[in-house]
């Protein structure tokens, strides 16, 4: 579990860094509209930073069990059945995420021969964000199954 906590902290740090960089780049883009210094690369970099902000933040939301859910019918179920229902939902999410890892990697391989227009970044690195996201989503889904069934740490994997 120490490795999971370390990975969670790294994901949180990467989320903060990519989102902070996104704010700075967008601020530069807005300021550039009203000054003689314009930056052509800010639009592209802001898009890439947004993609990676989501890629790093989505597994954190899975870890903390903070995805939006409608639990109108689930809330009337007995506690024991609700736990197994939640475990089943995490199992489906984990299987779905794990099954998409290979497809996301195959998609990222398409970007090996492509580069972005202004930054000339290999699109492989941008497309790889999906592979990273699905791998972490699958891992946290399976960890949440364990924690839901054993009733450990009700709010998520790490507090």
CA distance 57 to 3: 18
pLDDT for 79: 85
Task: With a cut of 50, list the residues of the chain below it in pLDDT.
Answer: 154, 159
Which pLDDT belongs to residue 71?
Answer: 81
Q: What is the pTM of this model?
A: 0.87
pLDDT at 72: 83
If one counts every other C-beta atom within 10 angstroms of the C-beta of residue 8, the result is 19
According to the model, what pLDDT value does residue 142 have? 94
Answer for the pair 54, 22: CB distance below 8 angstroms, yes or no. Answer: no
């Amino acid at each position: 579990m120490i490795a999971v906590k370390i990975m969670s902290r790294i994901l949180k740090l990467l989320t903060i860094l990519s989102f902070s960089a996104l704010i700075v780049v967008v601020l530069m883009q807005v300021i550039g509209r009203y000054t003689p210094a314009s930056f052509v690369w800010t639009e592209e970099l802001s898009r890439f930073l947004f993609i990676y902000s989501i890629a790093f933040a989505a597994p954190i939301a899975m870890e903390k069990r903070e995805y939006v859910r409608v639990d109108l019918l689930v809330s009337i179920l007995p506690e024991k059945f609700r736990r197994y229902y939640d475990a089943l939902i995490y199992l489906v999410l984990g299987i779905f995420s794990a099954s998409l890892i290979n497809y996301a990697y195959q998609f990222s391989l398409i970007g090996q021969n492509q580069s972005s227009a202004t930054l000339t970044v290999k699109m492989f690195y941008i497309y790889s964000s999906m592979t990273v996201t699905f791998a972490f989503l699958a891992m946290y889904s399976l960890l949440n199954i364990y924690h839901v069934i054993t009733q450990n740490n009700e709010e998520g994997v790490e507090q």
